Structure 1
Amino acid sequence: MKFAIALFAPPHAPSSRRALRFAEACLAGGHEIVRLFFYQDGVHSASVNVVAPQDEPNLSAEWSDFVHKHKLDGVVCIAAALRRGVLNQEEARRYERPAANLAEGWELSGLGQLHEAAQMADRLVSFGGN
């Protein structure tokens, strides 16, 4: 089965951990993840600047490791990311910001990528949000 996964919650939210464990279980079960799409506060999970308390897992780093390890299509909504200060090198230059903080392996793109993922997948599963 092909899954698209959308995450709307920040990395410290329980739904972020549930989404990651679901994604791991999908691959372990022989399924395919066609795209991970992070939207709203979920974009923070793609930032290299998230610092988790020492007694909590660093889900932002875990997400980045997961995307890198499995060579997944990790997409971050550009509008939500800009609003929350998550920038790649190009956007940091465009908006004259001193640094980029989008983790390696993630790409900024529009909501059309979520729509396309829903069309490519057998199931779109979303976590978090209001």
Structure 2
Amino acid sequence: MKFAIALFSASHAPSSRRALRFAQAALAGGHEIVRLFFYQDGVHSASNNVIPPQDELDLSAEWRAFIQAHQLDGVVCIAAALRRGVLNEEEARRYGRSAANLEAPWELSGLGQLHEAAQTADRLLCFGGP
């Protein structure tokens, strides 16, 4: 089965961990993940500036390692990212900001990527959100 996964909550939220564990289990079960889409507060999972307390799991690092290890498509909604200060080098330059906090394997893109993933996948699973 082909899954598209959308994450709406920040990396410290329980739903972020559930999404990651589901994605890991899906691949271990022989399924495919066509895209991971990070939206709303989920864009914080892609930020290099998220520093969890020492006694908590670093889910941002876990997501990054998972995406890299499996060569997955990790897309961060550009509108949600800009609103929350999650910028790659190009957007930091464009908006005159002093630093970027988003880098590979993440890709900034629009909601069209979520729509395309939903059309390509057999199932769209959403985690978190209001």
- TM-score, structure 2 as length reference: 0.99
Aligned with 2:117: secondary structure?
A: helix
Amino acid in the other structure paired with 2:3: F
Q: Which residue number in structure 2 is paired with residue 76 of structure 1?
A: 76
The count of residues paired between Structure 1 and Structure 2 equals 130
Is 2:86 aligned against 1:86?
A: yes
Q: Which residue number in structure 2 is paired with residue 9 of structure 1?
A: 9
Q: Which residue number in structure 2 is paired with residue 113 of structure 1?
A: 113
Amino acid in the other structure paired with 1:121: A
Amino acid in the other structure paired with 1:11: S
Aligned with 2:53: secondary structure?
A: coil
Separation of aligned partners in 2, 1:101 and 1:78:
13
Q: How does 1:1-130 map to 2 (within 5 A)?
A: 1-130=1-130
Deviations 1:65-114 (A, max 9, x none): 10111000000000000000000010000001011101320000000000
Amino acid in the other structure paired with 1:113: Q
Amino acid in the other structure paired with 1:31: H
Moved over 4 A (4+): none
Separation of aligned partners in 2, 1:45 and 1:106:
10
Overall identity of the aligned pairs, in %:
80
- State whether residues 19 and 127 of structure 1, in contact with CA within 8 Å, keep that contact through their aligned partners in structure 2: yes
Separation of aligned partners in 2, 1:41 and 1:49:
14
- State whether residues 64 and 103 of structure 1, in contact with CA within 8 Å, keep that contact through their aligned partners in structure 2: no
- TM-score, structure 1 as length reference: 0.99
Alignment root-mean-square deviation, CA: 0.5
